[in-house]
Amino acid sequence: MKSTLQAGLYYEFKFTVPENKTVPYLYPESEEFQAMPKVLATGFMVGLFEWACIKAINPHLDWPNEQTVGTDVKLSHIAATPSGLTVTVKLRLEQIEGKRLIFHLEGHDGIDLISEGTHERFIINAAKFNEKVNRKSKVESITG
């Protein structure tokens, strides 16, 4: 982590919602999702907010050796966004506690506030993290 990573960091990220980020595409094998409206899926919205946080802080990390993983999400989803609209994610890095980063986020689709809340990420050493995941995968393949 570089000394430039400081609480108060502000960032905006824009993303135009394509049809393949709507509810029916979240789990295509789900019959229930297939019957739902083609609006931005909450699952994809959470991913969009995570992406915005990653974009905001990567210049302040030793990327790609240092990366971040999401560990907590507390977001509302208060308005539907059809494909074609552009979501603007605004974020502020509220706190840094060691390797723990806490963000305040909000999203707007040009018509409505669609979401507001907090997101927590942890800075990881990518090689060590991937090594641990690989060990876990090997255990699962032996026991599964």
For the chain, the structural domain boundaries read 9-141
Query: Is 104 marked active-site?
Result: no
pLDDT of residue 138: 87
pLDDT band at 141 (very low <50, low <70, confident <90, very high): low
Instruction: Note the pLDDT tens digit of each residue in 79-96.
Output: 999 999 999 999 999 999
> Does the pLDDT at position 143 exceed 80?
no
pTM exceeds cut of 0.95 = no
- Measure the CA–CA gap between 4 and 31, rounded to whole angstroms: 47
Catalytic residue flag (residue 12): no
Strands in the chain per DSSP E? 10-16, 66-75, 86-97, 100-108, 113-125
Q: Is 110 annotated as a binding residue?
A: no
Summarised one tens digit per residue, pLDDT across range 20-66 is 999 999 999 999 999 999 999 999 999 999 999 999 999 999 999 99
Average pLDDT over residues 104-114: 98
Q: Is 135 annotated as a binding residue?
A: no
| pLDDT of 140 higher than 80 | no
Which of the four pLDDT bands, split at 50, 70 and 90, describes residue 5? very high
d(CA 129, CA 126): 5
* The residue type at 17: V
Instruction: Looking at the structure, give the CATH architecture of the domain made up of residues 9-141.
Output: Roll (3.10)
The 3-state DSSP class for residue 117 equals strand
Distance CA 59, CA 45 (A): 23
CA gap 42, 21 in Å, rounded? 9
Whole-number mean pLDDT of the chain?
Answer: 96
- Residue 29 designated active-site: no
Which residue in 127, 126, 133, 106 sits closest to 117, CA to CA?
106
Note whether 50 and 35 are within 8 A (CB): no
Write down the catalytic residue from 4, 19, 32, 42: 42
Helix (H) or strand (E) holding 113: strand 113-125
Instruction: Please tell me which residue in 22, 68, 77, 108 is annotated as part of the active site.
Output: 77
